[in-house]
Amino acid sequence: MRLTTVLFAGAWLASSVLTAQAASMPAPSATPQQQSQSSTYGVISGTIVDEQGQPLIGVSVQIVGQQGGYITDVNGRFEFRTRNSKETLRFSYISYKTQTVTFVAGTPQRITMYSESQTLEGVVVTGFTKKDKRSFTGSQTTVKAKDLLSMGTKNVLQSLEAFVPGLQVVTSNDLGSDPNARPELNLRGRATFSGAANLPLFVVDGAIVDVNYIYDMDMNTIESVTVLKDASASALYGSKAAAGVIVITTKPISQGNIRINYNGTLRLSVPDLSGYSLLSPEEKLRYEDLAGVYTDKAGGEHQWRLDNEREQVLRKVRQGTNTNWLAKPLRTGVSQSHSLSAEGGDNFVRYGLTLRYSNDDGVMMQSGRERVSGAFKLSYNKPNRVFISNNLTVNKISSQDPNYGSFSEFSRQNPYNSPYDEYGDLIPRFTPSQFNPLYEASLSSFSRSNSMDLLNTTTLQVWAGKFRIDGDFSFSSGTGLRRRFRSPLAGEFYRRPIAERGSLTESQDRSLGFLGKLMVSYNETFFEKLYVTSMFGSSLEGTTTDNSSFTTRGFYSDQLGHPRYGLGYDGGARPSGSEAQARGAGFFFNGNAIYDNRYSLDVVYRYEGSSRFGRNQRFAPFWSLGAGWNLHNEKFFKGNKNVQMLKLRASMGYLGNVSFEPYQALTTYDYNKGIDYMVGAGAVPITIGNPDLKWERTLSMNTGIDLTLFKSRWDLTLDVYRKLTDNLLLDVSKAPSVGVPGGTAKENVGEIENKGIEFQTRVVPIQGKDLQWSLSLNYSYNNNKVRKISDALRKINERAVQADSMSTRSTTPLPLYEEGESLTALKVVPSAGIDPATGREVYIKRDGSYTFNYDPNDRRVFGDTSPLGYGTLTSYLFWKGFSLNASFGYSFGAVVYNGTLATRVEGANPAYNADKRVFNDRWRQPGDVAKYRDIADTSSPYQTSRFVQREHFLTLRSLSFGYETDAPWVKKLLMRRARVELLANDLFYLSTVKRERGLDYPFARSVEMSLRLSF
């Protein structure tokens, strides 16, 4: 609190000094020409205010056609004398839209200036520069801050999905709503086999950051998010743009006396268990009887022991023991977020300070994420001369995961077992192989991590005649420490030697990165109608990463979870880790031309090099060419008042992907203590270098149309695209004599094709002064195809097929990549159902014949896990400061492999609880016509078409009700504006597939209240 007080006092003092200086300065003297006009005709005067009605200090006031000018005083006023009856004035102010207004002498006027955020529809922010949307030829989507916040304050990535066609947050059925889980994003499909390489590039105020930074970002500091999708939009990023680019712009600093903004959110989260339908104690005992748990199949002498076990279970059932195990690890998560900012300054110097604290309590006990951050901005501006700014952000993140394992440890527990004995003490285990997860939760085990990252960005703009020089330099640093301690009393160490009980794994990460850009821009108008903009530049970047990890075993005490108290490394294994450096440089050019506001052409060329690739392929070119046609500006459209925009655009170009480890092109070695020579330990190769290893390239083609009709009451955007990615990095098999573990090395051999359609439209049925209602719909479809794979990937497919035929087979189909098929194709063996005579499954071979013998080579495609369409339907209703927003998400046409049917219905283990459907359509005796095998067969089923289902789902992503006002009673409380909002997320999820959701961590529904105050 003391630190906050000092910082705000310093900011207030600086603002007071600047304001006093502005007030004490004499008004700028007029030019000689104006001085000669002292025998005045009248007075031109006015007041300049912002959107909230607050005076703007230092606004530049210039008489059109004359030199010199004036600036507004501390009250936002200006005044000068003139011999003319009226004057045309131009008002300019940094971060505000320039205006030209005609004044009549002797008639004061009040002018409202609007910040650039109010005109975002007219520009496209690329991270390098801002482009005029009239001449922009690429495919992009811009989302404002208020739209993002209407979806909730959890994180920007989940909110962004609702507004951007083609952007898909891949939901993990295992991780659910885990606050520490990173969402996986795909933009226009998967372009490579590696999951991490499919992430878009993230840029914040010109600096490249990783997904963790975005995940923990304060949404209240965001001004807008622009998603660049095709080559024309993102080619300036060259080797990093193949998966798309997400550019985030933070809020600019407002001018004036110190302004204080507060944003607070309180969120309640409750677990969503609607996907679970487990057996009651009576049903579970009945299931065990039908499954033959208490029957000695060999007819041996152990039947008496089984009878005794059943009697004990029956006694518990009759006593009424019915433990709700699903509720034991869960809670109502109470999360909060507070953000306080102060900003101010004049037309020259501005400053801003933001402090934030938030904690996100998950719905599972002991899980959560805490964020503390601070940001300071400082800028100096001399209009049309020089502008310099520095943004510094520091984030500290602390997270904790449950120490008792996953949610499945509870969902599988038998309801007739109580976690407590007759004395109220926790039972360590129910059987030698069944441990009490609630007892595990009571131990001193923990899983915690702490990280701190710093990002500093310095920007400089200098005007030299018609040239503008832009330079920016960003520096980032990050450190992380993670410790996972397993108590020696944990069930996994039961009956293990003392020296092997307990474990502690510690991991440390460090990273450094820098990126510098220097750009020269020149704009000129030719032949009165041809407007040309150009930019030349270069960039230099580097990254350094260092991580290490070790595991210690042998802990005597449950309370001493520190490496100091361990007896040795895990099995004598040594610590592991890696250290890597990468450097890159690029040179680029961007030229844009628009003729008569009708025809536009956009050219980007970038020549880039990286140390990540082979010495023979260090540099590669990337380029794009785009064209646009503003049909609405043609003569035959001039008289049509119903068409405000009709624009056709097309683009193509090559983008790259460099999201891989730095040393794949080099031969690397590792020491092996098992190879001991007289001169020391021997080294064996880890990878074999490839001097010709080069970039993954994506040929991106896009055609689009933008349409706005009926005074902007209806707008539509349609894009059709095709992406062909070649030179994919894949493992290629090498001869055993090479000596590489696994016998593989990296080469450029793969190809993947993506094709798709994106559609977005908005309709405004009601458009009035006090009442507004709009409806928005977006739709996306993507189809991908593997065009080429390596022989090593074929061998991986073969091993997956072999594993499927073994007793340790997986209950989830493994991906099998085949040329000509989709990356996300679901391949299983076709099934003819269950034989009524034997209760065994009948399989269909490739030749159409039937057999009882399962052969994984009979697999064929049964659909695609990627949907035929997905998107969002949103309704916005506004009335006199009140707003009601609802956003629905939908998806249809995807196929899923229902793991619940394969593991908790047919493949259920009778030793644990199961889904209620275990009684439905299970074969029991000859003659039964059933969907599922013999109820006494507890083996895991093979991967067949019986568990493949087509999924269509609809979910209410967000429902919010808010009120915003600047009424007089607000100003009496010394506030400029106040907003209160009540919002709910994920209120329902309707699906044609019934399966357990949130296997390791349950999904959650949340309700939050937000308060935003401006002083």
Give the pLDDT score at 178: 93
Token reading at 200: 């878009």
Classify strands 869-879 and 860-864 as parallel, antiparallel or unpaired: unpaired
Q: Coil, strand, or helix at residue 917?
A: helix
- pTM of this structure: 0.85
CA distances from 798 to 733, 794, 803 (A): 14, 6, 9
Give the pLDDT score at 733: 60
Q: Coil, strand, or helix at residue 881?
A: coil
Query: Rounded to whole angstroms, how far apart are CA atoms 851 and 841?
Result: 9
CA distances from 827 to 365, 557, 677, 809, 1009 (A): 38, 49, 50, 15, 46
797 contacts: CB under 8 Å, gap ≥ 6: 816, 817, 818
Question: What would the pLDDT profile of 485-515 be if each residue is shown by its tens digit?
Answer: 999 999 888 888 888 899 999 999 999 999 9
Q: Mean pLDDT per 10-residue run, the chain (1015 residues)?
A: 38 36 36 40 87 74 78 84 88 76 89 64 78 86 89 86 90 89 86 76 92 91 92 91 92 83 94 93 93 82 87 94 95 95 88 94 94 95 87 96 90 95 91 90 94 95 89 95 94 87 94 95 87 93 93 90 86 80 94 91 94 87 95 82 90 88 79 73 77 87 94 92 86 61 67 94 90 95 88 69 58 78 91 93 94 91 93 94 94 94 89 90 90 88 93 94 89 88 93 92 94 91
* 377 neighbors 389 (Cβ within 8 angstroms): yes
Q: Give the residue ranges of DSSP H helices in 180-291.
A: 211-215, 231-234, 281-290
Residue carrying structure tokens 């503390």 = 372
CA distances from 575 to 485, 548, 761 (A): 16, 7, 55
Give the pLDDT score at 35: 39
Q: Coil, strand, or helix at residue 54?
A: coil
Give the pLDDT score at 735: 59
CA-atom Rg of the chain in angstroms: 33
Query: Rounded to whole angstroms, how far apart are CA atoms 178 and 400?
Result: 11
Token reading at 593: 């031309």
359 contacts: CB under 8 Å, gap ≥ 6: 335, 336, 337, 368, 369, 370, 371
Q: Coil, strand, or helix at residue 22?
A: helix
Give the pLDDT score at 743: 55
Give the pLDDT score at 739: 59
812 CA to centre of own chain: 26
Q: How many CA atoms lie within 13 A of 793 on its CB side?
A: 23
Question: What distance, in Å, lies between the first and last C-alpha atoms of the chain?
Answer: 19
Cα torsion angle, 164, 167, 171, 175, sign: negative
Residue carrying structure tokens 């970039």 = 695
What's the DSSP call for residue 686? E
Give the pLDDT score at 1: 38
Helical pair 281-290 and 303-318, crossing angle rounded to 10 deg: 160
AA identity, residue 194: S
Token reading at 481: 């420490």
Residue 739 burial (C-beta neighbours within 10 Å; 0-12, 13-18, 19+)? exposed
| DSSP for 325-344, written as a single string | GGGTTB--EEEEEEEEEEEE
* 103 neighbors 44 (Cβ within 8 angstroms): yes
* Helix (H) or strand (E) segment spanning residue 303: helix 303-318
Among residues 465, 47, 382, 273, the alpha carbon closest in space to that of 998 is found at 273
Query: Rounded to whole angstroms, how far apart are CA atoms 61 and 79?
Result: 10
